[in-house]
Chains A and B, each alone.
Chain A
Amino acid sequence: MLAALFFGNGAPETGWTFYAPYSFKTGTNLLPAVFGAFVLGFSSILTGLNFLVTIHRMRCSGMKWTKLPLFVWTLYGTAWIQLLATPVVGITLVLIALERIFGVGVFDPALGGDPILYQHLFWIYSHPAVYIMILPAMGAISEIIPTFAQKQVFGYKAIIASTMEIAFVGYLVWGHHMFTAGMSGTAQYYFSLLTFIVAIPSAIKVFNWISTMYKGSINVQTPLYWAASFIFVFMIGGLSGLVLGSLATDVHVHDTAFVVAHFHYIVFGGTGFAFMAAIHYWFPKIYGRMYDKGWANAGWLVFFIGFLALYTPLFYLGMMGMPRRYYDYMKEFHGGNILSTFGSWILATGLVIIIVNLVKSARHGAPAEMNPWHSKTLEWKVSSPPSVENFDEIPEIAENDGPYNYK
């Protein structure tokens, strides 16, 4: 990938989608980029394969499927998506490379090929890819919420079912990226309907998380701040996705800043916030040291404010019609863009506070207890940081043990 940037006739300017026919017409150094994406795809497949086999074969004694922590369940769902969707984009990238080298014609309209078919093949992978990003994030949140509510997770099986439903239905909604690219009305209805259906399991999870906190003994700590703000931004991102999933409104906001706002609320607000929550949750386990909680909370607050200021105006700008992918804008969009720019500075400040705090604490933080959050899952039953091979003796799960059995 990096080689594509620095050598040859300039960096690829196709964007991340490698859309045909430009991707094989451009004179820039595209082949290393395509090759890099292919290798990454292959490693993603093998990672998924590894997780699937591990989860099937290496659970400890008594660890039934219904006692598996939800984070592991979401990794299981993610692994299936990696395994099933990635090969399709793999072969698509191979075709782009062959098209460039030999001029086969598969996506070249001059030789009878159909560039729209390329878009279909690309999104068959690249839509499920966003679920690869969000599912483990949802899993981390599903661990953190019950721990800091000190309460059995609400609807354990519903969360599992919704995870697997997302993995399955998420495979069938790729067409909603192409509503304006040219598609039959019937196809549009189906993709729109399926897009609405895939929103349901995400909503189920949100209800589960909130119901878990209801009447719990809430322990307000940094990971909980991140998890709660995750739910907030994820809901805004998810509901704005429905605006894009309905055919009429999608035509209005297609290719505007609204899409940018939606995407960042989900992938940065969703996955990014959950990533931060997870880092602050497992940090004492990883390093055996506790971070400075005051600075961690301050970092979260600054980051959260910056995030809202950065991305919220983009919803408004998109509704007004500001297109994406332009560096310049018209005068009436000035206020929103200025607010957004300030937001980006605030967000960067928050990020610096968080990173500095974590890096410093990893070296000099106060020693952490084995289980500072009083969590019930297995990783908290070993020393921090865990020894090689994690468990000196393979643990056994008794009939009444469970990952969320809080009393």
Chain B
Amino acid sequence: MEQHAHTQHDHFDAEASKIGMWLFIFTELLLFGGLFIVYSVYRFMNQEAFHLAAVELNTTIGAINTVLLLVSSMTIAVSTTTLQLKKKGLTLFLLGITVIIGIVFLVNKYFEWGAKIDHGIWPGSEHLKTAFSQGEILFFGLYYVMTGLHALHIIIGLIIILFAAHRVYKGTVNENRAALLENAGLYWHLVDLIWIFLFPLFYLIH
């Protein structure tokens, strides 16, 4: 078998690191999968309340954020190709764009959460407990938990991308050893994919 040859001198195995990343992404999906189960059960139990609460969310900001993440997924995918074409400058430029879009997403999220908090809606707030039904409390609780955990993944993704960009800049990530950048891209796609599920669940289903 061909893995024989390179284990002797060099332990690096691009295929292995990619399998590892895919498996890790699988576990991340299961992590959010637990939350999707919780969401489905409570949606089933409180259909009316979930409908009422969902109206409160700003679909426009949600849609803008969806488009932003889709574009950033494209830019990072293109950057892995430009790395193969040995266009280092363009690769770094595309990674920069990806990071900026990620930050814009977080800023949008900040204003969205801020508006809700201004209205007195946050987990455990008095206003939420007194003025809303139990189903609505659950909806907003899950909204904060799931979008919050997603935002945390965005931040982790940004750090990984910056780390990969630094290595591209130094040249230790190059067309022959592209695994780190490709895995950063895979992770970013995961973050995008989870948002693709979150957006309809919270904003679109009425």
Contact = CB atoms under 8 A, between A and B. Distances in A.
A88 B28 CA distance: 10
A58 B124 CA distance: 51
Contacts of A50: 20
Given A87-B27, A87-B28, A91-B31, 15 more contacts: A45-B24, A52-B19, A53-B23, A56-B16, A57-B19, A58-B3, A83-B23, A84-B26, A98-B123, A102-B124, A103-B123, A104-B142, A106-B138, A114-B41, A121-B38
A106 B146 CA distance: 12
Contacts of A58: 3, 7, 13, 16
B121 to A, nearest CB: 12
A52 B23 contact: yes
Interface stretch (B63-71, B84-92, B93-101, B129-137): B129-137
A104 B144 contact: yes
A195 to B, nearest CB: 21
A3 interface: no
Contact of A111 (B8, B15, B129): B129
Contacts of A103: 123-124
A210 interface: no
A88 B138 contact: no
A49 B24 CA distance: 7
A104 B38 contact: no
* Best-buried of A57, A58, A105 by chain B (most CB within 10 Å): A105
* Best-buried of A56, A58, A104, A114 by chain B (most CB within 10 Å): A104
B205 interface: no
Contacts of B38: 95, 106, 117, 121
B35 interface: yes
Contacts of B1: 59, 61-62
A112 interface: yes
Contacts of B199: none
Given A112-B134, A112-B135, A117 B31 contact: no
Interface string B7-37: 1100001011001100110111011111101
B4 A61 contact: yes
A21 interface: no
Interface in B148-177: 149
Interface footprint category on A: 35 or more
A84 B27 CA distance: 6
A179 B24 CA distance: 33
A87 B145 contact: no
B123 A102 contact: yes
Given A104-B141, A117-B38, A53 B20 contact: yes
B82 interface: no
B46 interface: yes
B3 A57 contact: yes
9 closest cross-chain pairs (CB), A and B: A112-B134, A103-B124, A91-B34, A104-B141, A87-B30, A102-B123, A87-B31, A57-B16, A104-B123
A248 interface: no
Contacts of B37: 121
A60 interface: yes
Contacts of B142: 104, 106
Interface in A96-138: 98, 102-106, 111-114, 117, 121, 124
B7 to A, nearest CB: 7
A105 B3 contact: no
B138 to A, nearest CB: 5
Contacts of A117: 38, 41
